[in-house]
Amino acid sequence: MGAGVRLAALGLLVTAIAVRAGGTVSSTGQTPPPNSGTTQAKPTATAPATSSQAKPAAPQGAYAGTDTCVTCHTDQEGSLKGTAHGQAKNPRSPMAAHGCESCHGPGQAHVDDEASGHMAKMKEMKPGEVNQICLSCHNRGTHAAWEGSAHDRRNLSCTTCHSVHSPKSPEHQLVKKTQTEVCATCHDPHGSSNDRMLVVRMPMLCQRCHVATKHPATLYDKDEITTNKSNRMFGRSCVNCHANIHGSNHPSGQFFMR
């Protein structure tokens, strides 16, 4: 009888141990990963709600649009109307691309924070930087000779002679009323293969105006070059005598000779 009781007790103990061990096995027969309870007890940390609601900063190259620019710069909008820069139908015009921002650069950062979003201001830029903006479009024809020209080497800029928003001339958007006032009658400001950036060589340059009186057209005849060897055809040509061609205040300076 005593042996039977001990046997029964031993059987119950083995059964209890087996049930306890089986509790750690899932119903599918697979052992759960270690520390699974700990993982479920500690949820993953999430970012604070305030950071997800904060306004994202505008990308460095974000464009605001011309309509946004003229909200403040109303005077500049009017100055472009009727000029070549304001023709949206012309695919080579700044207005056909990004409008104001074609020249001044992306402006959304400037709209969001005027203090930190700086725009390109031509008056505050170096001549070379201004020229690079203009030459991004004006890079053919008469403008092709600008780089390396005397004006380029002497740190002049396109805005020395031209004005986009305040032109004074009916053509070419000059800062003066006439080409003569900016020297363009005789000199090619964009560069030339002639001496002193002249539009044509002397004496042909002077002969374009001084051809009827005192300087007859026969100057171009072959005899003036080969037989007579006129001094008006060699050396400094007309300025051999008319040396002060840009003006003279000498009492005897008639005809720019002194």
pLDDT digits (tens, 9 = 90+) for 174-222: 999 988 888 888 888 888 888 888 988 887 888 777 776 666 555 555 5
Beta strands in 23-111 (DSSP E): none
Q: CB within 8 A of 70, min separation 6: which ones? A: 76, 77, 100
Closest Cα partner for 232 from 246, 249, 211? 211
pLDDT band at residue 51 using 50, 70 and 90 as cut-offs: very low
Q: What average pLDDT does range 109-122 have in this prediction?
A: 79
Q: What is the pLDDT of residue 28?
A: 44
Does 84 have pLDDT greater than 70?
yes
Question: Please, what's the b/e burial string for 151-172 (b: 16 or more CB within 10 A of its CB; e: otherwise)?
Answer: bbeeebbbbbbbbbeebebeee
DSSP state of 193: S
Average model confidence (pLDDT) for the chain?
A: 74
Q: What is the pLDDT of residue 82?
A: 78
Give pLDDT tens digits for 226-239: 666 666 666 667 88
Greater pLDDT, 200 or 54: 200
Q: What is the pLDDT of residue 60?
A: 57
* Cis amide prior to 33 (ω within 30 degrees): no
Q: What is the pLDDT of residue 37?
A: 46
Rounded to whole angstroms, how far apart are CA atoms 88 and 169? 22
Q: CB within 8 A of 157, min separation 6: which ones? A: 127, 128, 130, 131
Counting residues of the chain whose pLDDT is more than 90, the rounded percentage is: 5
Q: What is the pLDDT of residue 252?
A: 65
Q: Which residues sit opposite 174 in a β-bridge?
A: 162
DSSP state of 55: P
Closest Cα partner for 85 from 159, 147, 180? 159
Q: What is the pLDDT of residue 55?
A: 46
Does 131 have pLDDT greater than 50?
yes
Token pair, residue 131, equals 């020229």
Q: What is the pLDDT of residue 235?
A: 66
Q: What average pLDDT does range 157-168 have in this prediction?
A: 90
Which of 93-97, 138-142, 244-248 has the least mean pLDDT? 244-248
Counting residues of the chain whose pLDDT is more than 70, the rounded percentage is: 64
Contact 190, 199 (CB under 8 A): no
Does 45 have pLDDT greater than 70?
no
Greater pLDDT, 26 or 15: 15
Q: What is the pLDDT of residue 162?
A: 92
Phi then psi dihedrals of residue 226, to 5 deg: -90, -45
Q: What is the pLDDT of residue 31?
A: 47
Rounded to whole angstroms, how far apart are CA atoms 80 and 65? 15
Contact 175, 168 (CB under 8 A): yes
Does 46 have pLDDT greater than 60?
no
pLDDT band at residue 96 using 50, 70 and 90 as cut-offs: confident
Q: Is 124 helix (H, G, I), strand (E, B) or coil?
A: helix
